[in-house]
Amino acid sequence: MRKKIVAGNWKMNTDFKGGLKLASEVMNMVNDEVMDDIQVVLIPPFTHLFGIGQLIKGNKKVSLGAQNCAAHISGAYTGEVSAEMIRSVGADYVIVGHSERRHLFKEDNSVVEEKVKLALSYSLIPIFCCGESLDERNNGRHFQIINSQLEEALFELEKDELLKVVIAYEPVWAIGTGKTASPYQAQEMHHFIRTTIKEKYGEDLANTIPILYGGSCNAKNAKELFANADVDGGLIGGASLKSRDFTDIVKSF
Ligand code: 13P
């Protein structure tokens, strides 16, 4: 059985007080309403990590993640936050290669690869994001794009390293647009990702690695997305900012 994961990427939203309130509401609802076999991950802004880490300390169902990490170990990189720092405040996960980082901050596959390796070396679980743009899909290049993102940023890893990675398929055209991938499109791509991993690393690893869907996933469409054989949960943006909506998504398996 693969791990089921629903992660809330808050992006650059909430102040510290609002973030603590949201985290504590989610934690209480998850404690009361959610089965033990689902892992919930809260991914607030950096400034909230320590506080929310303290709040959820010891909770088995709710974990903490960061939205990004530096591509360097330490040193003169003003404004950057290292994987080691993130780990030291109690986070278990870190998002790498989110499309907003790739597009707005010009991170390419080699930077993403560096971040994946650093995350792993500090015992963080990378949530590796991949996804195609609308143009790329319309031109029939979506499989090729995802394949090169996997090849160039992940496939240098050893088997025992890749085993620790979580993949999130987030089609860029679905992020924050209200346009969700259809259950068919999501399953088709998740299956492609799993098959690509199988060809390179074998069936056992391919069957173990969780692949999450992200992009306008909400309490209404989560059920039909999560029902697909290769969809193991979601990476949720906008809908993770409301505790009721987010918990309802978590309960959509
Ligand atoms: P939305 O759920 O707001 O579309 O964002 C998805 C996302 O980018 C999660 O990382």
pLDDT in the model for residue 138: 97
Active site residue 25: no
| CATH number reported for the structural domain that contains residue 136 in this entry | 3.20.20.70
| Residue 206, CA distances (Å) to 120, 160, 164, 190, 235 in order | 18, 12, 12, 11, 19
Among 86, 13, 78, 9, smallest CA distance to 50 is for 86
pLDDT in tens, 94-151: 999 999 999 999 999 999 999 999 999 999 999 999 999 999 999 999 999 999 999 9
**Number of structural domains found in the chain:** 1
Helix axes 109-121, 142-153, angle to 10 degrees: 50
pLDDT in the model for residue 1: 77
pTM over 0.95: yes
Q: Residue 173: what are its φ and ψ, rounded to 5°? A: -70, -10
Establish how many alpha carbons lie within 13 A of residue 106's alpha carbon, considering only the half-sphere containing its beta carbon: 0
Among 194, 169, 195, smallest CA distance to 181 is for 169
pLDDT in the model for residue 53: 98
| Ligand 1 atom index nearest CA of 240 | 2
Low-confidence ranges of the chain (pLDDT < 50): none
Active site residue 107: no
| Ligand 1 atom index nearest CA of 11 | 10
Of the residues 98, 100, 107, 142, only one is catalytic, namely 98
Query: Which range marks the domain in which residue 141 is found?
Result: 4-250
Of the residues 100, 113, 170, 190, only one is catalytic, namely 170
